[in-house]
Structure 1
Amino acid sequence: MTALTISTSSAATLRADAVVIGVAKGDKGPVVTPGAEAVDKAFDGKLAAVLETLGASGGEGEVTKLHAPSGLKAPVVLAVGLGEAPAKGDGFGAETLRRAAGSAARALAGSKKGAFALPVGSAEDAAAVAEGALLGAYAFNAYRTSGGANSKAGGKKKDDKKAPLAEVTLLGGKPRDKAFKAAVERATALAAEVHRARDLINTPSNDLTPKSFAAATQAAAKEFGLKAEVMDEKALTKGGYGGLMGVGQGSANPPRLVRLAWTHPKAKKTVALVGKGITYDSGGISLKPAGHNETMKCDMSGAAAVFATVVAAARLGLQVNVTGWLALAENMPSGTATRPGDVLSMYGGKTVEVLNTDAEGRLVLADAITRACEEKPDTIVDVATLTGAMVLALGNRTFGIMANDEAYRTAIHEIADEVGEQSWPMPMPAELRKGMDSPVADIANMGERMGGGLVAGLFLKEFVADGITWAHLDIAGPAFHEGAPYGYTPKGGTGSSVRTLVRLIERTAAGDLA
């Protein structure tokens, strides 16, 4: 991953491939932001005028490169837009700084070192810039080899996909200040775990199977002092995990249930996280139509987020117990696959009539939620790319939040906003439950078509034990980004919800949440 350092050097004297400065929209044109004073001086105080001549306006995410004058050690100045200039005395918001730093880091792909001279007036500002830069400096090049479409025929030149910016140097920080140091260390750990989730999501399904996913958790457990337990298909069958086995029985790659735990000797609370881990979703017998299969390697994004969050808790030494449950399966059509109309006996004994095999995520989650409840955690949060209906409701950048406790749902929504992840609280209308009544089983896995995302949440609620606070995050929209990169968000797997979950656990450890 990209290296991160803090320096007290001047932006004019530090040697780097480029120095990054901020520019905002002012009443009379672009305005150079704090942190860039030394760079502006090298331009004889006319940097804003030069940028305006080049067409820069200071709009959010706008990137302008220009040759540096002789007064700077760096050969390039990269000006990144921060949007509207704040009122006098106010600073820029954390998300504005994160996105600007991410845009700059992406623009510097292929470079060795970037000096970031963005506005840093506090440790929180430093954390935002550091986090944004590290998240923006990401690329998934694991499968790119020589002789690719962009290389010379027959040559050994590597594909010209640029490597991420190698080093970020944060200027304006205070390396010896405990708050600044802690903020930057947290940003580094957090970005590394978001990258872990992104890498898993981007890995094709022929390499990421339930078995190999489980093996990755075991390797991480050894590295970070976690406890990992893996149940294979024999243990799942013996234990009565009908949801996981029912979904996975059509595939040559059998399912797994992983329990990954971080424990702290002084912890007073336990949070259980449950992640949907469908390593490939064809829809099963209810096969997805053409055009809907190509990105279905991302259907394990919830499990990736849970995995990354538990590791982050360990890396940060959070004073809370965190248990991650990864429900891993591959949903494929075959002669052994579950059929529409089949009845599954779930873990815990409840029976489910499967009306649509493409509503498989709720089946594997139900088993894992029931099992997680047996340990009596204080709270359970499940994370899943669960329904296309949620994407229709909230779009591609916002995840939905449902819960059996309104205050907890509100807290998660506020936390997501704090860390820069878009979310929206969703209702759980009781009248929609009746649509899942089955004439042959306790419940069906489908209900009314309208409000399908809410129906899925109501289904999961049926498997939450009484007295346990529970929330459900449907990240189907933001988990996988198919458009052009923006800010610190890459094309492909995004690592959606990791930052929200980590902050939720930090707040729980601090005693801010019930």
Structure 2
Amino acid sequence: MTDIELIAKDPAKITADVLVVAVGKDEGGARILPGPSGKSLTGLSRLLPALGVTGKADEVVRVPGGDGVAADVVLLTGVGNLGDGGPGLEALRRAAGAAARNLAGTGSAVLALPAEDAAAVGAVAEGALMGAYRLGQYRASDPAPVERLQLSTPAARQKDCKAALVRARAVGDGVREVRDLVNASPKHLFPGSFVDAAKSASKGTRVKVTVLDEKQLAAGGYGGILGVGQGSTRPPRLVRIEHSPSRPRAHYALVGKGITFDSGGLSLKPAKGMENMKDDMAGAATVLHTVLAATALDLPVRVTGWLALAENMPGSNAQRPSDVVTMRDGTTVEILNTDAEGRLVMADALVAALEERPDAVLDIATLTGAQMVALGGRVGGVMGTDDVRGAVVSAAEDVGEQFWPMPLPAELRPSLDSAVADLANVGGREGGMLTAGLFLKEFVGETPWAHLDVAGPAFNESGPYGYTPKGGTGMGLRTLLGVLESAGRR
């Protein structure tokens, strides 16, 4: 695990394996950004054109340390185009992340990126910790992440900067743990072992964990979760986790989809469509570690998290198209497509969450392929009531994640009508992301609510970039945490 600390020393004089500095570009070309190391690297600045350094985002170039620099190597990391106010926070976050990815196998490094206030310190530290991630669970040949990072800033002793580092560590820890769960083999991660992981992660904290097994789910009328899980030999679970401060300013419920593997059930996916379906539990992993991060930061908001865990398999007892299931609130649902299973487990969990009368509820799920068609692999969709949907978009902008506000058109709702039940579990082909949101809306009543669809952003199938590795990304945790932090400041 990578450690990070703040220092106020001249980074050029610190003995380390690598000194990391930022390079940006403007009309005059590439230039090393002013910072604690600037005076020591004057000669290197003149060599940037000859080295082919452009300063573009995600560019990382290593050069020998040279005279005046105690580190063996200088790593130049690009922040992209420079505006009038210098690089933005997300540019710093990405540059620190790209550098940290490149530092795998390194013992120590000094970060001399521009970080003169708490916001910049937090962005650089977050980016570095997220970029330093390595799975390493199944492939021992992968280099270990950089062991020790020192972030050089003249504000190292300021209270707000120390607080920003504490928050960055909580974010970095949470994102790392989400990625580990998403990247885990479904042979090893199934509803029961997910429960074990939640209990293990919560041990030693104030988070309370409660688990409903298949018998308790049956007694409680959770027909959606049970129906999805009945085709697997590994039964479903519903997990409730709680962060409960002494004087909460609000109560937020978070609900996460936890399909530990999605074969599509009897509506079987094509082979190619199953390759990354271990990621279908990313929402539950995100909720788990958002609650733990809220506890680590002692946020003055009560948070109840709900993890709807099941494995969607085509076993001999699997639910069939045309089956009718009865949900926790008594709503009957006709199953037309067993591959539209996420909304079933989410609806049951939403009903359970709302029985405790939270002030607002947010759910997060890798819910629809239509989300990826509409918004691609890096932008999530958010639907819901205007107030909570707006809070999600605002929080995402603040933390450097991308969520696009989407509507819930009333004219699409009739496509969910069923001839034999209260609802069908799928609507028409058009607006698939939106009809899934409309299905969930049926179960939240008048409670302020937002639904986050992260089917694309939760798993990066292409090459790494910035602080984002290939595989599980942890996308959504920072936004949910930002919403909770904002609620705690009211």
Fold-level similarity (TM above 0.5): yes
Percent of aligned pairs sharing the same letter:
51
1:488 corresponds in structure 2 to: 467
Q: By how many angstroms is 1:113 displaced?
A: 0.8
Hey, what does 2:134 align to over in structure 1? 139
Aligned pairs for 1:377-392 (under 5 A) are 377-392=358-373
Conserved in 1, the CA contact under 8 Å of 2:249 and 2:487?
no
Q: Does 1:83 align with 2:64?
A: no
Where do 1:262-281 residues align within 5 Å? 262-281=243-262
Matched position secondary structure for 2:235: coil
Alpha-carbon separation, structure 2, partners of 1:346 and 1:411: 29
CA distance in structure 2 between the aligned counterparts of 1:412 and 1:23, rounded to whole angstroms: 32
Q: What amino acid is the match of 2:391?
A: A
**Alignment-derived partner of residue 71 in structure 2:** 74
Aligned pair partner of 1:402 in 383, 386, 390 = 383
- What is the aligned residue count? 490
- Match of 1:106? 101
1:64 to 61, 65, 76: 61
Report the equivalent of 1:17.
17
Structure 2: gaps of 5 or more residues = none
Structure 2: how far apart are the matches of 1:93 and 1:42? 24
Cα distance in 2 between the residues matched to 1:475 and 1:322: 21
Query: For residues 270-321 of structure 1, what are the alpha-carbon distances to aligned partners after superposition, in whole Å with 9 as ceiling and x for unaligned?
Result: 0000000000000000000120111100000000000010000100000010
1:510 and 2:489 equivalent? yes
AA in 2 matched with 1:125? A
Measure the CA separation in 2 of the matches of 1:13 and 1:381: 48
User: What does 1:457-496 correspond to in 2, within 5 Å?
Assistant: 457-466=437-446, 468-496=447-475
Contact map agreement 2:387 2:448 (CA 8 A) in 1:
no
Q: Which residue of 1 aligns with 2:406?
A: 426
Q: Which residue of 2 aligns with 1:154?
A: none
Q: What CA distance in whole angstroms lies between the structure 2 residues aligned with 1:246 and 1:489?
A: 35
2:11, 2:110 within 8 Å by CA — same for their partners in 1?
yes
Q: Give the alignment partner of residue 206 of structure 1, picking from 181, 184, 187.
A: 187
Q: Which amino acid aligns with 1:260?
A: I
Residue 173 of structure 1: CA displacement? 4.4
Rounded to whole Å, the distance in 1 between the matches of 2:346 and 2:371 is: 17
2:339 maps to a residue whose letter is D
How far is 1:58 from its partner?
1.1
If the length of structure 1 is used for normalisation, what is the TM-score? Answer: 0.94
Tell me the distance in 2 between the aligned counterparts of 1:369 and 1:273.
9
Please give the secondary structure, in 1, of the residue aligned with 2:252: strand
Secondary structure of the equivalent of 1:223? coil
Partner SS state of residue 203, structure 2 = helix
Q: In the alignment, which residue of structure 2 is the partner of 1:184?
A: 165
Give the AA of the match of 1:105.
A
Secondary structure class of the residue paired with 1:276 = strand
Which aligned pairs between 1:120-131 and structure 2 lie closer than 5 A?
120-131=115-126
Question: Residues 422-480 of structure 1: CA distance to partner in whole angstroms, max 9, x if unpaired?
Answer: 110000000111011101000000111110000000000001133x1010000001000
1:255 is aligned to: 236
Q: Distance in 1 between matches of 2:40 and 2:207?
A: 51
In the alignment, structure 1 residue 451 sits paired with structure 2 residue 448: no
Distance (Å, rounded) in 2 between the aligned partners of 1:214 and 1:41: 53
Q: In structure 2, the residue corresponding to 1:380 is in which secondary structure?
A: strand
In structure 2, C-alpha distance between the alignment counterparts of 1:219 and 1:63, rounded to whole Å: 37
AA matched with 1:53: A
Structure 2 matches for 1:281-320, cutoff 5 A?
281-320=262-301
Q: Distance in 1 between matches of 2:6 and 2:458?
A: 31
Task: For 2:39 and 2:294, locate their aligned partners in 1 and report how far apart those are by CA, in whole Å.
Answer: 44
Partner of 1:8: 8
- Per the TM alignment, residue 177 of structure 1 is displaced from its structure 2 partner at its CA by 1.1
Instruction: Measure, in 1, the Cα distance between the counterparts of 2:355 and 2:82.
Output: 52
Whole-angstrom distance in 2 between the partners of 1:222 and 1:166: 25
Render the CA deviation track for 1:180-236: whole Å, top value 9, x for unaligned: 100011101111011111100001111111011011212233321111100000100
For residues 256 and 134 of structure 2, the distance between their equivalents in structure 1, rounded to whole angstroms, comes to 24
Distance 1:47 1:222 in 2: 49
Cα drift, residue 53 of structure 1: 0.6
Q: Distance in 2 between matches of 1:93 and 1:61?
A: 14
Report the AA paired with residue 475 of structure 1. Answer: V
Q: 1:287 to 1:322 in 2, by over 3 A?
A: same
1:302-341 aligned at under 5 Å gives the runs: 302-341=283-322
Alignment check: 8 A CA contact 1:174 1:181 kept? no
1:49 and 2:46 equivalent? yes
> Could you tell me which of 341, 346, 361 is aligned with 1:360?
341
Instruction: Output the aligned Cα RMSD.
Output: 1.0
Return the alpha-carbon distance in structure 1 between the equivalents of residues 148 and 179 of structure 2. Answer: 20
Letter in 2 for 1:504: V
Corresponding residue for 2:422? Answer: 442
Is contact 1:210–1:255 with CA below 8 Å preserved after alignment?
yes
Contact map agreement 1:370 1:465 (CA 8 A) in 2: no
Letter in 2 for 1:55: G
Rounded to whole Å, the distance in 1 between the matches of 2:310 and 2:271 is 22
- Secondary structure of the residue aligned to 1:119 is coil
Of residues 84, 93, 96, the one that matches 2:88 is 93
Residues 173 and 180, structure 1, Cα contact 8 Å, conserved in 2 = no
CA distance in 1, matches of 2:249, 2:113: 39
Shift in Å, 1:351: 0.2
Matched AA of 1:471: A
Distance 1:224 1:166, change over 3 A: same
Counterpart contact for 2:31–2:48, Cα < 8 Å: no
Amino acid at match of 1:505: L
* Matches of 2:383 and 2:217, distance apart in 1: 28
Instruction: Give the drift of 1:85.
Output: 2.2
Quick check: 1:6–1:173 contact (8 Å CA) kept in 2? no
Partner in structure 2 of residue 152 of structure 1: none
> Which amino acid in 1 is paired with 2:423?
I
Tell me the CA shift for residue 70 of structure 1: 2.6
The AA in structure 1 aligned to 2:83 is: P
